[in-house]
Chain A
Amino acid sequence: MKHGKPFVVVVLAALLAAAPLFLNAYQVDVLNSIGLYGLLALGLNLILGEAGLFNMGHAAFYAVGAYTAAILNTRYQIPILWTLPLSGLAAGLFALAVARPVVHLRGDYLLIVTIGVGEIVRIALVNDIFGMTGGANGIFGISRPQLFGIVIRRPQEFFYLIWGCVALTIVLFLRLKQSRFGRALNYLREDEVAAEGSGINTAYYKLAAFGLGAAWAGMAGTLFAAKMTIISPESFNFWESVVLFMIVILGGAGNIVGVLLAAFLVIGLPELFREFASARMLVFGLVMVVMMVFRPQGLLPARGGRFSPITLARGRG
């Protein structure tokens, strides 16, 4: 199994790269959606999977990025792809600002705080904060992205843009995982007290994970804004955060391949279940439970000894 891995990856990547050639527009667009959520989930994976910080408000950072891109594009005519670094920066800084006073909270308290941040952001957007977000209408008329002189509009073209970003992210995050930074995060997740005891600045690393994960969400937001050409607050509601949370945990928190695989399932299955019409979400819910029951560690659990990272610490308060 181990030695076959590079081969499998190459075949899968080649298959994926060729997908637009033999799939129709809808199927390619499903893959685009999966890619977008894959990007978002990989960002969340840094926070939730690698550092073990319960974040169920990731859509807030996604929204900050998307709105930054949309505002810069529609008001100042900055080409949408140029806003990528700016919206990443905006989302990252926003995350640092909100996470700083709360990052020390214990698991479930942090969970509700992040849910709260997500809701506050959504409500602020709906209420047209600073007079710039367009309220419930959102922002429309976002221009199509241009890359090397080609205007990207069809799903097939977006496919290469989005999955190019995913590939880049995978390479970057794999390196990050093996770096000192990545190891520090894992240490933090496994045993915060011990990590602190051995000289790791836990607050620094927690914030760094938040900032980086949020920056990724922000950049994914730019891609989303470019793809939809219209964004509105309902695209960033609590449900989006929940979906991302499910992707990361289902994938096996901390495992990049697992997270991508889970993005395929969580975003792909409801599409697959379209044949069930009104019952499609019923089947989807059932499948989620069944998958968790049969793969409690996630589809591909993060590597690491026999001791599971975040076991149910029952009875120890």
Chain B
Amino acid sequence: MKQQLLALVAALGLAVGGVTAQAADTVKIGLMAPLTGSWASEGQGMKKIVELLAEQQNAKGGVLGKQIEVVTEDDGGDPRTASLAAQRLTTRGVVGVIGTYGSSVTEASQAIYDEVKLPQIANGSTAIRLTEKGFKHFFRTAPRDDEQGRMAARTIDKLGFKKVAILHDNTSYAKGLADEANALLKDQGAEVVFFDALTPGERDYTAILTKLKGANPDVVLFTGYYPEAGLLLRQKKDMNWQVPFLGGDATNNVDLVKIAGKEAAEGFYFLSPPQPRDLDTPDAAAFLADYQKKYNELPPSIWAMLAGDGFRVMVAGIAGAKSTDSDKIAAYLHKDLKDYPGLSGPISFDAKGDREGEVYRVYKVDAEGNFVLQKL
């Protein structure tokens, strides 16, 4: 028995050790995404988009005369798995990394990439502090929570709401946005009549809605994610409660309307970077058509699209720097990349690695369940 176990351990060691670097005839770009776990749908969308983009780029000749190879690692949507995924990517000869979705997950990987100076472009991580630590090789195509907080407060003001209920879900992202908006709303004289968090992953939010209704707000600002937003809208309709809802950018997902039902989703406002199809760039339209053709569905969300932008920017950085040297890529992205035509609009980075410019728009769901860009 003991021999068998020893053999097993040895086999395990060999197998983990068996991953060796191949010859460098390709340019490898890493993708860190939640392929399993709660955010698996986002991660799998990220993978599909980046792989399609790589395929297209390779058809055009790749970069620096070499083909691009995407190396994907599963971060499981949790920090510990992410730190292992990051360590693994650093040993697989990638020249840069795209990802990942959640802020705390990205945070667990930042120091690891920084240690070996790998450029990292996060796609869904909006927490402010990620770019406040002075990492030279960290970028993100996602906007920051403070920008969105400002946008939320301004939108509520413009729509003329005075009594606001704020509901978040106690995730790092949603709490940050809720706090940001809460402070700004109070500054501009709005009354915040409710501030609490629901537990994500449940099905029945009627207890919370009943309590919310008791606070009698003009508008409910929900800063959490689309699965809960959809259920809240659906159950709100069942209650015959007619209060308008405003959601944060994590509610921007095609499944929101499916979950809520068209009738319940109608009139829902949300903030988001522009949808690809609301951009007039031929790139975005063409890409969406290709995506639909290849996978027979639409990308799950803007966040997966932002991973695609991360990939394109990374390729542009490598091409622009004419090198796979990380310092040169980072320098190019910081200084020379200006108004790069991304799928989600023009992309430039500031000195911290944040995306420049106003990214947020206000959307409203119409009777058909379409997301319609609002002019406010």
Contacts and interface: CB of A to CB of B under 8 A. Distances in A.
Contact present between A and B (CB < 8 A): yes
Interface of A: 1, 8, 22-27, 29-30, 33, 126-127, 135-138, 140, 153-155, 228-230, 232, 234-235, 261, 264-265, 268-269, 271-272, 274, 277-278, 280-281, 299-300
A299 B5 contact: yes
Nearest to A36: B80
Contacts of A135: 170, 172, 175
Nearest to A268: B12
Interface in B117-143: 127, 129
Interface residues of B, number: 39
Contacts, number: 99
Contacts of B197: 127
A278 B170 contact: no
A33 B84 contact: yes
Given A232-B104, A234-B104, A264-B12, A29 B87 contact: yes
Interface string B252-272: 000000000000000000000
Given A135-B170, A138-B104, A280-B36, 12 more contacts: A22-B17, A27-B17, A126-B170, A127-B170, A153-B115, A230-B79, A232-B79, A234-B78, A235-B78, A261-B9, A271-B88, A278-B40
B21 to A, nearest CB: 9
Nearest to B20: A24
B35 A277 contact: yes
Contact of A235 (B40, B80, B116): B80
Contacts of B87: 25-26, 29-30, 155
B84 A29 contact: yes
A277 B74 contact: yes
Contact of B74 (A138, A232, A265, A280): A280
Chief secondary structure at chain B's binding surface: helix
Contact of A26 (B15, B84, B111, B129): B84
Contacts of A265: 8, 12
Nearest to B3: A1
A264 B159 CA distance: 57
A43 B91 CA distance: 32
A228 B5 contact: no
A52 B22 CA distance: 49
Contacts of A269: 12
Contact of A137 (B8, B83, B104): B104
B12 A274 contact: no
Contact of B84 (A8, A23, A140, A271): A271
Interface in B1-34: 2, 5-6, 8-9, 12, 15-17
Contacts of B44: 278
A23 B20 CA distance: 11
Q: Which 3 A-B pairs have the closest CB atoms?
A: A26-B88, A26-B87, A29-B87
A26 B175 CA distance: 33
